[in-house]
Amino acid sequence: MRNTLILLILVLISSCIDDYELKLKSNEPKLVFEGVITNQNGPYIISLTKSRLQLTYNPNPNMYNNIGIRSWLDGVESINDAEVYITDNKESITDTLVKSWTLFRNKQNAHDSLAYEGYYQTTKIKGIAGHTYALTIKWQKKEYHAVSYMPPVPPIDSVQFNFTKGAIGKEDFNIPLLFFKEPQNERNYYLFITPGNDRVWPYSILSDEYLKDYVNGLDVCKGIAPDYWMNAYPYVYDGKLSMDYFIEMHSLTEEAYEYYKALIQQFRTDGGGYSPSPASPPTNMDNGALGFFRASAVNRVDFKRDN
């Protein structure tokens, strides 16, 4: 037994171990786009960047209205040499987008300045509910296409605030409740937006599958959203609204609803052994591009803080 053990040790010591270099394929950067056209006043913004292997979560809620997910990426490489067009298929109008100069924070010099960072804006097209819009992007000898229909959105009849006393150490807040007529005998999808902050994605989505013909006080936080309670409710102080506040109700196609649903699912997925690995969300753009082109009708209600 002893001789066998010694022989085994000698074999292990004398064994040769060759170094092996693991070679991974480098992914070619893909075009990443994001853009929204609404029935609100333009210009409408299209954002173009190159994909990267690692994304840094750094939300900029002030940019949500134009570019959506682009606001959630940091350090991306902009695409500044593309041709971008949006066509209203019903009116047969094509708008050639121009470069959009954007105010941004220069991280190295720590000052604000104007720079062109992959944003393209419309010059004449106007979003109209019931119209279909086509996005065309030409970049590096390739052409990309996406089409999006703008569904109508029901008008908001009213908004009521349900005052709620905060727990010990927490602020008081109001729960906004929406009242509106919901079209029946058709499937509708909605996106709700309220003021965001640096910690939470300010979007909530909702299907009308279980909504009645009249929505009698919808909590805008009842849609699908990650930790949405943190920013949906406007804070109050001494019973008064302590911040400017707004609610936007956007119409969505089923395709757009599934896109946002997939994004939210990614927030909830850690890639561990008990959850699926994150995957790219669905897109309505061809040729392997990433992102989504959305057309939405919008109803907005604004509230000014109490003096």
What is the tens place of the pLDDT at every residue in 235-264? 777 767 777 888 899 999 999 999 988 887
Q: What pLDDT is attached to residue 147?
A: 96
- Rounded-to-integer distance, Cα 84 and Cα 66, Å: 16
Half-sphere exposure of residue 175: CA atoms within 13 angstroms, side-chain side: 14
Q: What pLDDT is attached to residue 197?
A: 52
Q: Over 80: is that where the pLDDT of 2 sits?
A: no
pTM over 0.85: no
What is the tens place of the pLDDT at every residue in 175-192? 888 999 999 888 999 999
Q: Over 70: is that where the pLDDT of 299 sits?
A: yes
Nearest to residue 79, comparing CAs of 35, 116, 115? 116
Work out the mean pLDDT of the chain and round it to a whole number. 76
Instruction: Mark out the alpha helices in 37-119 (DSSP H runs).
Output: 64-67
Q: What is the CA radius of gyration of the chain?
A: 25
Nearest to residue 160, comparing CAs of 220, 205, 108? 220
The structure tokens listed for 208 are 């009308």
Q: Over 50: is that where the pLDDT of 69 sits?
A: no
* Residue 170 CB-density burial (10 A; 0-12 exposed, 13-18 middle, 19+ buried): exposed
The structure tokens listed for 174 are 């109001």
Nearest to residue 234, comparing CAs of 298, 177, 190, 153? 177
Q: Over 70: is that where the pLDDT of 104 sits?
A: no
Contact predicate 183/203, CB 8 Å:
no
The structure tokens listed for 83 are 């041709």
What is the tens place of the pLDDT at every residue in 143-186? 999 999 999 999 999 998 887 776 666 666 778 889 999 998 88
Containing H/E element for 118?
Answer: strand 111-121
